[in-house]
A = this chain, B = another copy of it.
């Protein structure tokens, strides 16, 4: 199976000021990052917790954090750190992650952070590899 191990893209998203509550862009089918829609779900990450490591074999993830602040770290097959970034409500962005990349994330907000994943494949345990936190170094916060 071919594992796409190329670019992780991080794109700033628009937050539109609206009386009564803002509107936050996420993803359109016409965006270059969009491949297909199969499933959307939220993952919560509690303050100070780290979830790592996981790798999808087929899924491209589109990740946004509308609430809170999350550090995401990504390693390639050669166990090289290829991306280490923070996104959240005040750094409101979309991270697009092709399959084949190890990822972990940590909740940096004082309360729960919410991650929305819009995925191009359905959740399937056979498509996910998992390793314990000790498998790779979770790096310090980026400067």
Contact = CB atoms under 8 A, between A and B. Distances in A.
Nearest to A123: B28
Given A21-B46, A51-B21, A114 B67 contact: yes
Nearest to A38: B29
Contacts of A50: 20
Interface string A32-53: 0000011111111110011100
A118 B40 contact: yes
Contacts of A20: 45-46, 49-51, 107
Given A67-B114, A114-B66, A114-B67, A42 B27 contact: no
The oligomer's copy count stands at 2
Contact of A42 (B24, B44, B107): B24
A116 interface: yes
A8 interface: no
A26 B51 contact: no
Given A66-B114, A122-B29, A23 B44 contact: yes
B122 A28 contact: yes
Contacts of A46: 20-21
A26 B122 CA distance: 12
Contacts of A118: 40
Q: What 3 A-B pairs have minimum CB-CB distances, sorted nearest first?
A: A37-B37, A21-B44, A20-B49
